[in-house]
């Protein structure tokens, strides 16, 4: 099969991949947001530096392995490995990839998790961005492709587009529909060129996981906010629609794109160079992934003027997983989930969400993986515009808590969330291929609330599609 064919879609003649064995695979992630550009009133964000991961990478990967994870979503600090165009420093990444191999832990590589190198003037709006991000992705694949075969070209591209192109929070500080169009076009072209370049370099060994944030809307979505809510629902999928060749002049947001810098030739390029996911990744946080519209109240969204959030729990999780399966016809993974809460609440959500996914699998849905994010706590993005010490921005959402050690470092303190994750991840009977000997069916209930809610929500979703 040609490189173009490999990038564009799944080859039915190839051997089964690791996620196609019928089992439920458990993974973890390390928060890897990188916005290295600073300025007046803005601190750079490098989550690896904030969490001491650069120094403690070996221990950190070991934590994931000890917790029973078989894969880890892990990001490359592009701004560090590529200090000048065409200049590479892989020394630290070499050690990390070696450690993955020692542990037998599968890396799923986030190539772009928000930031560009400091030398790229204009960041995503630089006309060279699509080419330079592809050069970087291919350089990584060529160096590590004998050991690393699973890639996410861009993590959460629509969050990129919003923060950099609509809200003006992050470089290049664009706003409005023109900013959205600039970001979507640049991210999309870079995404396509990266995936196609890696497919050319690695051939059939390459696997591509497309990951984006879930964005749900509830409340007054049929009244005065109907048009806004409808637009936002379509906008949530805009980059993925573009890179998979689904945006033509009939797309609900074609008028926005065509009115702000794109043209029919641009859309035709994406249609002619479409890429497809091997796995569809869904990031869902029950307490923040659903925004609430209120009658008579108007918010612009984002940190500056946020809409209130609604805890949609298992019902929201089921909805976004089934929507991803329906839209793409590919295996689906929950690629990020957690609650920022005390340990008991984290344990409860872990049980509920795993039970929901096991129930969906028993009903025949192709849900291949579960990822708790992150393995240890992280720091809130508001750190960038703040002045307080990092501990003031700590988000307690990991399996391990981060605890200041009094010497400028961070201890990793194991919590019962890690023990619960390990018990769920290593339960071969419950996680085996559905219908195989010893594998549980729909009555497998780590948590009856999660299982029952999932079954009910799945049934409601099916009825809605039929209607």
- The domain locations on the chain are 3-12+22-466
Angstrom CA distances, 152 to 76, 208, 214, 326, 465, stand at 11, 6, 16, 20, 29
| Banded pLDDT at 4 (limits 50, 70, 90) | low
pLDDT band at 464 (very low <50, low <70, confident <90, very high): very low
Q: What is the phi/psi pair of residue 94, to 5°? A: -55, -45
Tell me the average pLDDT of the chain: 93
Helix (H, G, I), strand (E, B) or coil at 241: helix
Question: What residues does 67 pair with on adjacent strands?
Answer: none
Residues 211-225 have a mean pLDDT of 96
Q: What confidence score (pLDDT) does residue 9 get? A: 59
CA-based nearest residue to 76, from 92, 64, 61: 92
In the structure, what pLDDT confidence band is assigned to residue 303 with cuts at 50, 70 and 90?
Answer: confident
pLDDT at 15 (0 to 100): 79
pLDDT-derived band of residue 455, with 50, 70 and 90 as boundaries?
Answer: low
Mean pLDDT of 52-75: 98
Residues of the chain with pLDDT > 70, as a percent, come to 90
46-58: average pLDDT: 98
- HSE-up (13 A, CA, CB side) for residue 451: 15
Q: List, in sequence order, every residue forming a beta bridge with 167; answer none if it has no partner.
A: 175
- Cα(129)–Cα(121) distance, integer angstroms: 9
Reference 242, options 282, 285, 195, 284; nearest CA is 195
Q: Which two tokens stand for residue 321?
A: 């997983």
Calpha distance 233→306 (Å, rounded):
17
Q: What is the mean pLDDT of residues 286-295?
A: 97
pLDDT for the residue numbered 18: 95
User: CB neighbours (10 Å) of residue 126?
Assistant: 15
Residue 369 has pLDDT above 70, yes or no: yes
- Beta-strand runs (E) in 294-436: 332-336, 367-372, 378-379, 394-395, 400-404, 410-414
Quickly tell me which residue has 């291949």 as its tokens.
Answer: 368
Q: Quick one: pLDDT at residue 304?
A: 87
Angle at 114 between CA 334 and CA 53, to 5 degrees: 80
Where is mean pLDDT largest: 3-17, 117-131, 293-307?
117-131
pLDDT of residue 460: 57
Per-residue pLDDT, averaged over 67-95, amounts to: 97
Q: Residue 228, Cβ neighbours under 10 Å: how many?
A: 15
Question: What whole-number distance in Å separates Cα of residue 347 and Cα of residue 66?
Answer: 17
pLDDT score, position 456: 66
Per-residue pLDDT reduced to its tens digit, 130-150: 999 999 999 999 999 999 999
Burial class from Cβ neighbours inside 10 Å (0-12, 13-18, 19+) for residue 64 reads buried
Closest CA relative to residue 327, chosen from 372, 368, 293, 280: 280
Query: What is residue 434's predicted lDDT score, i.e. its pLDDT?
Result: 58
pLDDT for residue 14: 72
Structure tokens, 137: 């992705």
Lowest pLDDT segment from 9-13, 29-33, 368-372, 445-449: 445-449
Looking at domain 3-12+22-466, its CATH superfamily turns out to be: Glycosidases (3.20.20.80)
Query: Rounded distance, CA 335 to CA 369, Å?
Result: 8
Residue 177 has pLDDT above 60, yes or no: yes
R_g of the chain computed on alpha carbons: 21
pLDDT number for residue 410: 97
- What was the pLDDT predicted at 466? 35
336 has which bridge partners? 283
Mean pLDDT of 290-294: 96
pTM of the model: 0.93
10-14, 106-110, 187-191, 299-303: least confidently modelled range: 10-14
pLDDT in tens, 314-338: 999 999 999 999 999 999 999 999 9
Distance CA 27, CA 421 (A): 10
Which residues lie closer than 8 Å to 116 by C-beta, 6 or more apart?
78, 79, 123, 124, 129, 133, 171
What was the pLDDT predicted at 436? 53
Are the C-beta atoms of residues 324 and 283 closer than 8 Å to each other? no
């Amino acid at each position: 099969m040609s490189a173009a064919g490999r990038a564009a879609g799944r080859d039915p003649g190839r051997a089964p991949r690791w996620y196609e064995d019928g089992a439920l695979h458990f993974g973890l992630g390390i928060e890897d947001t990188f916005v290295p550009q600073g300025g007046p009133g803005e601190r750079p964000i490098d989550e690896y530096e904030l969490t001491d991961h650069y120094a403690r990478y070996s221990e950190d990967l070991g934590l994931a392995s000890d917790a029973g994870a078989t894969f880890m979503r892990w990001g490359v600090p592009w701004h560090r490995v590529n200090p000048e165009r065409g200049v590479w420093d892989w020394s630290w990444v070499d050690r990390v990839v070696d450690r993955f191999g020692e542990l037998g832990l599968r890396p799923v590589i986030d190539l772009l998790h928000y930031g560009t190198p400091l030398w790229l003037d204009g960041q995503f709006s630089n006309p060279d961005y699509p080419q330079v991000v592809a050069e970087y992705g291919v350089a990584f694949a060529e160096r590590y492709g004998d050991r690393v075969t699973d890639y996410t070209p861009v993590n959460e591209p629509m969050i990129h587009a919003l923060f950099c192109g609509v809200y003006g929070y992050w470089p290049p500080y664009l706003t409005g529909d023109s900013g959205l169009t600039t970001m979507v076009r640049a991210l999309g072209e870079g995404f396509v060129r990266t995936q196609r370049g890696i497919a050319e370099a690695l051939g059939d060994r390459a696997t591509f996981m497309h990951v984006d944030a879930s964005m749900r809307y509830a409340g007054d979505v049929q009244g005065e906010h109907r048009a806004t809510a409808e637009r936002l629902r379509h906008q949530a999928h805009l980059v993925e629609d573009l890179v998979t060749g689904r945006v033509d002049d009939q797309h609900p947001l074609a008028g926005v794109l065509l009115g702000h810098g794109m043209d029919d030739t641009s859309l035709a390029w994406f249609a002619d160079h479409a890429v497809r996911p091997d796995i569809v990744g869904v990031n869902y946080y029950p307490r923040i992934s659903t925004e609430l519209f209120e009658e008579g109240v108007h918010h612009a969204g984002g940190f500056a003027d946020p809409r209130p959030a609604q805890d949609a729990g298992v019902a929201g999780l089921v909805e976004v997983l089934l929507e991803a399966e329906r839209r793409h016809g590919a295996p689906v993974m929950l690629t990020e989930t957690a609650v920022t809460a005390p340990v008991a609440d984290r344990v409860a959500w872990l049980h509920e969400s795993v039970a929901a996914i096991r129930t969906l699998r028993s009903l025949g849905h192709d849900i291949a993986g579960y990822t708790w994010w992150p393995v240890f706590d992280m720091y809130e993005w508001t750190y960038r515009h703040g002045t307080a010490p990092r501990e003031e921005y700590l988000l307690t959402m990991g399996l391990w808590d981060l605890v200041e050690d009094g010497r400028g470092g961070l201890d990793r303190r194991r919590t019962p969330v890690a023990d619960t994750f390990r018990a769920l991840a290593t339960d071969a009977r419950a996680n085996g291929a559905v219908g195989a000997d010893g594998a549980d069916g729909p009555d497998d209930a780590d948590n009856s609330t999660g299982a029952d809610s999932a079954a009910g929500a799945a049934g409601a979703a099916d009825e809605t599609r039929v209607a």
